[in-house]
Amino acid sequence: MIHVPDRLGEAVRLVEHEARLLDERRFDEWLSLFTEDGWYWMPASWGQRSPDDSLSLLYEDKRLLALRVRRLASPVIHVEQPPSRTHHHLSALGAEPNAEGGIDVGSLQLIVMVRAAEQRLFSARCTHRLAMHDHELRIASKTVRLLDCDAGHRGFAVPL
Amino acid sequence: MPSHLPDFTDLVTDQRVHRSVYTDPAVFAAEQEQIFRRAWLYVGHESQVPEPGDWLLTRLGPDEMILIRGEGGVLSLLHNRCPHRGSRLVGGDRGHNRHLICPYHAWSFDPSGVLTGLPLPEGYPDGYLRDAGARNVARAPRLQSYRGFVFASHAHEGPPLAEFLQGIAFAIDNLVDRAPAGRVTQVGGALRMVYRGNWKLFMENAVDLVHPGFVHASAVAAARSDREAASLPGVTGQVVQMQLANGLRPAEWDELSIHGFAGGHVSMDSFYRQGVIAAQRDDPVFRRYFDALADAHGEERAKDILALDRFNNLVWPNVSINSRFQAMRVVQPLAPDLTQVTSWCFSLDGAPEEMTRLTLRFLTAAASPASLVAADDLEVFERCQQGFAGQGPEWLDISRGALRDRESETGWIAPGTSEIPIRLQFAAWRRWMSRTKAEAA
């Protein structure tokens, strides 16, 4: 029996680690943080309740995230020539047990992206739903609610 | 030509175009005047404003407009601009108001744009406020709905909508015919992409069957390394199939046909052949859908409707319709080197709800700026725009396949790898850019 409240600190550290892996472009390690049935969702409208009733900027399960990550390693991924760099600035981190016996971690993330010496900003409220897997916390879902989710964006290939 | 506009038509021939058609602010200004202030342009779908008082913020060429439904169901397209001091009347994307009230001095207007009230009317001479032209909200002179799709024009006169859509109206017909109830509804919000490139680049690329194998090579290769994923249910299989379909070889693209029309409109055959993305599927949802369609139209007619297997259908100058996936993209030129593309999808009234999920997934995978596909398209548009800069070679080639283009009963037909879509769009561009307002009428 795992006592979830004891692991709240660990949950927060996992979300910080996840951001670090993205910033360091360690995408294979990043992918391994997700459970096998894990998914990633970036809504395209403010207050969007579900990826099933509206368009999303990104809605991918682990198999599609794996495809995305393999693509990032390709020499002919044009939108990543030159590669983008990111810094994920995390704040307002909070963890609490969820109804499924796991932990939800909320955070505000300011994602600064630089590519070809040009800077872009993404501000997001993120929710990581974490689940226990072999006594380890893993990401069952990551929801990235961009403050400007419904604005026109230029292309990007890396998961934020 | 109107005297204040120079003639740009020598920048385009059957074989080549001058790079300045993509970069020159004077060309852009002339396009806005000659094309986007005269041609029929799509402004919204009737289902977005179903009730009297419902309004939607939209654009008609260079101008921000309000599409609003009045009493009796009449649609009007009003400039979002108070005739008093010029303030934008509405600030949101959509809403419901019996009257539009200006935030500045509270002039109020009915949904047809007629002034209905204002403070201090005694400050004007008798009769002054009844000068309708000056006191009412300016409106688009021509507005017409084609099977629920609303088009408008800033020009008082010009070809009727039916004539303008000649050849390509079938794309709208087919989308609406796919609905068992004979009506579609815009659903699921919108996706917006921006790129630092000219608007024509998107329209040329949408019917370019040679680019996918190159521009999308990284996604094709990534999908090929996990082919089994293509048969998975839900979003996974569909998205993987879409990537694999982009990996056709040039010879295979040539087996598809491009259909072109004199108005600059272009339709291309679909290249989606496998699994859930194929034109006609064999699964419980699709069978339920087919039964509903056959109930409405009879089995033969239902089969004919579904047999039309086209991918992107361009309504020149700035719309792309995919009837099979119930999707529409609208290209908005913002500057010579800045464009926004908004994508919408539609549910088929009377069809199983799961059919809508398919179009939502299709557009999420195909038309998001984070798409495995579109992100690289946008990058290439920006690289073209960057390539046009500087003092290098001035002309760009659009001649591939010209020897094999042939006339059909309705326009032209060519093998998939022909650049005829670009040639036809520029032929329409030349015509509109050279016509005076009197000639257009």
Residue-wise pLDDT for B110-158, tens only, equals 999 999 999 999 999 888 887 777 799 999 999 999 999 999 999 999 9
Question: How far is A73 from chain B, CA to nearest CA, in Å?
Answer: 9
pLDDT at B1: 45
In a domain, A18, yes or no: yes
**What's the average model confidence in pLDDT over B19-47?**
97
**What's the average model confidence in pLDDT over B43-72?**
97
Residue B334 contacts A where some CB pair is shorter than 8 Å: no
Question: How far is B368 from chain A, CA to nearest CA, in Å?
Answer: 5
Residue pLDDT, tens place only, B159-191:
999 999 999 999 999 999 999 999 999 999 999
pLDDT at A50: 95
Whether residue A130 contacts residue A104, with contact meaning beta carbons closer than 8 Å, is answered with yes
The span from the CA of B31 to the CA of B54, in Å, is 31
pLDDT at B282: 78
Check pLDDT > 80 for residue B4. Answer: no
pLDDT at B5: 60
Write the residue in A42, A55, A71 that is nearest to B372 by C-beta.
A71
The span from the CA of B74 to the CA of B77, in Å, is 10
Question: Cβ of B369 and A74 within 8 Å?
Answer: no
pLDDT at B439: 53
**What's the average model confidence in pLDDT over A112-138?**
96
Say what the ipTM of the complex is. 0.96
Whether residue B347 contacts residue B185, with contact meaning beta carbons closer than 8 Å, is answered with yes
Write the residue in A59, A63, A70 that is nearest to B364 by C-beta.
A59
Architecture of the CATH domain B167-433: Alpha-Beta Complex (3.90)
In a domain, A154, yes or no: no
Q: How many CB pairs under 8 A join A and B?
A: 141
Listed in order, the ranges of chain B carrying CATH 3.90.380.10 are: 167-433
pLDDT at B436: 60
**What's the average model confidence in pLDDT over B197-225?**
95
Whether residue B70 contacts residue B52, with contact meaning beta carbons closer than 8 Å, is answered with yes
Question: Cβ of A55 and B343 within 8 Å?
Answer: yes
pLDDT at B435: 64
Percent pLDDT > 70 in chain A is: 99
The span from the CA of A60 to the CA of A160, in Å, is 13
In a domain, A152, yes or no: no
In chain B, how long is the greatest CA-to-CA distance? 78
At position A100, the amino acid (one-letter code) is: E
Mutate to test the interface with B, among A39, A67, A86, A160 (most CBs of B within 10 A): A67
The span from the CA of B64 to the CA of B167, in Å, is 29
Architecture of the CATH domain B41-153: 3-layer Sandwich (2.102)
Q: How confident is the model at residue B238 (pLDDT cuts 50, 70, 90)?
A: confident
| A113: chain B residues, CB-CB within 8 Å | none
Kind of pairing between the strands at A136-146 and A34-43: parallel
Mutate to test the interface with B, among A57, A64, A120 (most CBs of B within 10 A): A64
Taking each helix axis as running N to C, give the angle between helix B234-245 and helix A62-72, from 0 to 180 degrees, rounded to the nearest 10: 30
Q: How confident is the model at residue B438 (pLDDT cuts 50, 70, 90)?
A: very low
* Neighbour-count burial for B323-357, b at 16+ CB within 10 Å, e otherwise: bbbbbbbbbbbeebbbbbbbbbbbbbebbbeebbb
Question: Cβ of B383 and A44 within 8 Å?
Answer: no
Question: Cβ of A59 and B191 within 8 Å?
Answer: no
Look at the block and give the residue holding tokens 């794996």. Answer: A66
The span from the CA of B292 to the CA of A57, in Å, is 32
Residue pLDDT, tens place only, A47-70:
999 999 999 999 999 999 999 999
Q: What is the DSSP letter of A59?
A: E
Residue A45 contacts B where some CB pair is shorter than 8 Å: yes
In a domain, A74, yes or no: yes
Percent pLDDT > 90 in chain B is: 79
Q: How confident is the model at residue B437 (pLDDT cuts 50, 70, 90)?
A: very low
Q: Average pLDDT, whole number, for chain A? A: 96
| Higher pLDDT, residue B254 or A49 | A49
Check pLDDT > 50 for residue B441. Answer: no
Write the residue in A54, A79, A153 that is nearest to B193 by C-beta.
A153
Mark which residues 200-219 of B lie under 8 Å from A by CB: 215, 217-219
Residue B224 contacts A where some CB pair is shorter than 8 Å: no
Give a three-class secondary structure readout of chain B.
CCCCCCCCHHHECCCEEECHHHHCHHHHHHHHHHHHCCCCEEEEEHHHCCCCCEEEEEEECCEEEEEEECHHHCEEEEECCCCCCCCCCCCCCEEECCCEECCCCCCEECCCCCEEECCCHHHCCCCHHHCHHHHCCCECCEEEEECCEEEEECCCCCCCHHHHCCCCHHHHHHHHHCCCCCCEEEEEEEEEEEECCCHHHHHHHCCCCCCHHHHCHHHHHHHHCCHHHHHCCHHHHHHHHHHHHCCCCHHHHCCCEEEECCCCCEEEECCCCCHHHCCCCCCHHHHHHHHHHHHHHCHHHHHHHHHCCEEEEEECCCEEEECCCCEEEEEEEEECCEEEEEEEEEEECCCCCHHHHHHHHHHHHHHCCCCCCHHHHHHHHHHHHHHHCCCCCCEEECCCCHHHCEECCCCEEEECCCCHHHHHHHHHHHHHHHCCHHHHC
In a domain, A51, yes or no: no
In a domain, A79, yes or no: yes
Cβ within 8 Å of residue B343, ≥6 positions away: A55, B190, B191, B192, B193, B327, B328, B329, B330, B363, B367
Check pLDDT > 80 for residue B226. Answer: yes
Check pLDDT > 60 for residue B3. Answer: no
* CATH number assigned to the domain comprising residue A18: 3.10.450.50
Query: Which residues span the domain enclosing A21?
Result: 4-46+56-146
Question: Cβ of A150 and B192 within 8 Å?
Answer: yes
Question: Cβ of A44 and B215 within 8 Å?
Answer: no
pTM listed for this prediction: 0.95
Question: Cβ of B368 and A56 within 8 Å?
Answer: yes
Nearest CA in chain B to A56: B364
Residue A46 contacts B where some CB pair is shorter than 8 Å: no
Question: Cβ of A70 and B222 within 8 Å?
Answer: yes
In a domain, A41, yes or no: yes
Coil, strand or helix at A40: strand
Look at the block and give the residue holding tokens 């600035």. Answer: A89
Question: Cβ of B240 and A64 within 8 Å?
Answer: yes
Question: Cβ of B189 and A55 within 8 Å?
Answer: yes
pLDDT at B53: 97
Write the residue in A56, A67, A153 that is nearest to B194 by C-beta.
A153
In a domain, A151, yes or no: no
Check pLDDT > 90 for residue B318. Answer: yes
pLDDT at A6: 81
B44: left (phi over 0), alpha (psi -120 to 50) or beta: left
Residue B242 contacts A where some CB pair is shorter than 8 Å: no
**B103 upstream amide cis, omega within 30 of 0:** no
Question: Cβ of A152 and B192 within 8 Å?
Answer: yes
Residue A62 contacts B where some CB pair is shorter than 8 Å: no
